[in-house]
Amino acid sequence: MAAPSNLAGQRWLPYLFLLWTLIGCAAFIMQSTQDLDALARTDPYQAGIWVAMPLWVWLCYGIAVLAGMLGALAMVLRRRIAVVFSLISLIAVLLQFGHTFLGTDILQVRGFVAAAIFPIVIVLLSAAQLCYAHLLQRRGHLR
């Protein structure tokens, strides 16, 4: 059975991407403004990671969530710019997590499951958003 070319039944997917990226924006705001002294009392390792995180990584994080949200919103509005924003978001996500896993000892300290599963989900959802935006564009659903 061939997949239908009409994506009308899947119009809800851009709204799910939008919800997911809004949650990411909220997480960025909470994490970037968090009281690190309070965090250090409950999770000194995580507080140390965030204190040592270079500005460019924080910028990648902010760009990732903002571009992801704009890409999802563009999909909701059926705009071609969704592809560009989604690509920017995925690149920023990869740069951010590249630093996290290559520039820190988080995998050794926290272990793979605790440290990497959620970032893998984030990367996969970011890639899925980009792929879906490409699909919408190829099928002429974005203008």
Look-up: residue for tokens 């988080």? 106
Round the average pLDDT of the chain to a whole number and report it.
Answer: 94
What are 76-100's pLDDT values in tens digits?
A: 999 999 999 999 999 999 999 999 9
**Helical spans, DSSP H, in 3-104:** 12-33, 36-42, 44-52, 55-76, 81-102
Q: Is the pLDDT of residue 1 over 80?
A: no
What are 30-45's pLDDT values in tens digits?
A: 999 999 999 999 999 9
Torsion, CA 53, CA 33, CA 58, CA 79, rounded to 10: 160
What's phi and psi for 67, nearest 5 deg?
-65, -40
Query: How much is the pLDDT for 16?
Result: 97
Query: How much is the pLDDT for 8?
Result: 55
What's phi and psi for 112, nearest 5 deg?
-60, -50
Query: How much is the pLDDT for 7?
Result: 57
Query: How much is the pLDDT for 40?
Result: 95
What are the boundaries of each domain within the chain?
Answer: 14-138
Q: Is the pLDDT of residue 112 over 90?
A: yes
Query: How much is the pLDDT for 10?
Result: 75
The pTM assigned to this predicted structure is 0.91
Rounded Cα distance, 94 and 19, in Å: 21
Burial level of 78, CB count in 10 A (0-12/13-18/19+)? middle
What are 5-25's pLDDT values in tens digits?
A: 565 557 899 999 999 999 999
What tokens appear for 19 in the block? 């919800």
Rounded Cα distance, 99 and 102, in Å: 5
Query: How much is the pLDDT for 126?
Result: 98
Rounded Cα distance, 62 and 93, in Å: 9
Give the percent of the chain with pLDDT over 70: 94
